[in-house]
Structure formats: C-alpha cells, structure tokens
Amino acid sequence: MAFTVVIPARFHSSRLPGKPLLDLGGLSMLQRVYQQACKSDASQVYIATDHLDIVNHAKGFCDKVIMTREDHVTGTDRLQEVVEYLSLPDDHIVVNVQGDEPLIPPRLINQVAGNLQKYAHAAIATLAEPIDDIEQVFDANAVKLVRDALNMAMYFSRAPLPWNRSWNTSDLNLVAKDVYLRHIGLYAYRVGFLHRYVTWPQASYESLESLEQLRALHHGERIHVDLAPGGMPAGIDTKEDLARIREFLTSQSQEN
C-alpha cells in the first residue's frame, strides 16, 4: 500500500509561538515528528509550512519541504494545497500527521492509512481511545465522538457526548466506560475528498465547535473511526506539555 505523509508545521501559535522549532532533547519538535513519520510505511514524507524560518530549519534534515500560503482557515485546506502542488491522483491516500506530536507511534500512521484503503466508502479514517476519566468527558479540549455499528463517525463534539440523562451535579459517574471516546487528531484522506472539501463553506456547527471534520459530515462524507491500541501519547499545546515531554525524553536518554 502506497501512501504519503504530510506534516503541517505552522510557526504561529497562541500558546507556544514557534512551536515546531522548540528544542526537545537536542532535536526540534518538528524533527522528532519527522523521524517518527519516516518510521512508518509511507512512501514519502513531506513537511508543509507557512514560515521561512521553519523552511530553512526543516531543509537541514528533510529534502521534501513545501512552502504554503498563510491564509488557510484549517489544516485540511493547507493539506489540499500540498496535494494539488504534488499533482497526486484522486485515489491516493495522504496521512496528516500533526507537527506537535513528537512521540506519535508509527504504527498508528500505518493503521489509519490501512483502514482508509480497506473501507472504500470512507473519505477519511481517524482514531479514538476510550475515556476513563470523568473530568476529560467535561473537558472542552478533549474532543468526544460517537460512531455507528460500522464504526463510522456520527458526530464529534467538545461537549460531553453522549449525554447520560442519569447524571446529576452531585454524582457524576461514567456508567458505561466503553461508551465515551476521545478523538485522536490523526487523519488519513483520499486526495479526491480534499479537492471537494475546499469548495465547501464552513458548516455552522463546524465554526461553533471549531472542529473542521464536521464540515465533512455535514456534506455526507463518511469518516471511519478505529480504536488506537495502547492509545496516543499526548502532544504539545502548552508550556506544561513541553516541560513534561522534555522530562520524559531526559529520563529515556538516561535509561539508555
């Protein structure tokens, strides 16, 4: 199975400006993501960025760096610019690996690419993991989802989903722990879908939730959702995340 990985790497971040260039144990965050992606079965791994500093840095370890426009509304729009530039065929599979996931397991990249190839009626394949922490169910930063009997997504939300009508404010418990799923932001797309996606306006609830995958559901596209065995290591969004990953990498190097 041939597929391509694209790593979008934006310089501007409200909480961690210049995030892709931050040092993690002697390597930049972006280089660590790239190294993990190269361990997958992808035939090509590209870095896509809108900032010259990242271009110059990435060219030190990657020979496939693409400069994109700065005005993309979503990461999916940026990905479409890349596949159009590369003239990839409509049936080709592209995996979007976030540039702030330095510990991403390569097997998960292979998993979403393989699932999309297997389920021909899906336009997107993604992953989820079970939630066993009640606080995460109510955390707006943790995106929840429900899927149907064929493991196709029905909806994604930052709100508790599904809502348990037996909950009350004094006793919030997870009645069925296998029901609540946290979305993992790793996607495989068919190129033809990406070309369709950028022609659609944002759906109203896509804007409300700030979840770009809702645009696909709004237009009748199918999204396959598989469980990630072993889950997904946390990415880096905050200074606290950065400190945690640095501490983890230091402990790993000391053990080796």
Separation between Cα atoms, residue 145 and residue 129, nearest integer Å: 10
Counted domains in the chain: 1
For the segment 199-228, the average pLDDT, to the nearest whole number, is 94
- pLDDT surpasses 80 at 28: yes
- Look up the pTM and report it: 0.91
- pLDDT surpasses 60 at 86: yes
Q: Count the residues in the chain.
A: 256
Output the CA torsion sign for 48, 54, 56, 61. negative
Residue type for position 255 = E
Query: What is the residue range of 156's domain?
Result: 3-255
Which CATH number belongs to the domain containing residue 25 in this structure? 3.90.550.10
Which pLDDT value is given to residue 73? 79
Separation between Cα atoms, residue 117 and residue 32, nearest integer Å: 27
- pLDDT surpasses 70 at 240: yes
Separation between Cα atoms, residue 180 and residue 134, nearest integer Å: 10
* Residue 19 CA from chain centroid, whole number: 16
Among 2-16, 125-139, 198-212, the minimum mean pLDDT is found in: 2-16
Which pLDDT value is given to residue 177? 59
Separation between Cα atoms, residue 97 and residue 178, nearest integer Å: 26
Separation between Cα atoms, residue 158 and residue 178, nearest integer Å: 18
Which pLDDT value is given to residue 182? 92
Q: Between residues 218 and 178, which one has the greater pLDDT?
A: 218
pLDDT tier at 235 (50, 70, 90 boundaries)?
confident
- pLDDT surpasses 80 at 165: no
pLDDT tier at 168 (50, 70, 90 boundaries)?
low
Separation between Cα atoms, residue 181 and residue 131, nearest integer Å: 5
Which pLDDT value is given to residue 85? 96
User: What is the average pLDDT value for the chain, to the nearest integer?
Assistant: 89
Which pLDDT value is given to residue 10? 82
- pLDDT surpasses 70 at 174: no
Percent of the chain beyond pLDDT 90? 61
Which pLDDT value is given to residue 96? 96
- pLDDT surpasses 60 at 169: no
pLDDT tier at 75 (50, 70, 90 boundaries)?
confident
- Which SS3 state, helix, strand or coil, does residue 21 take? helix
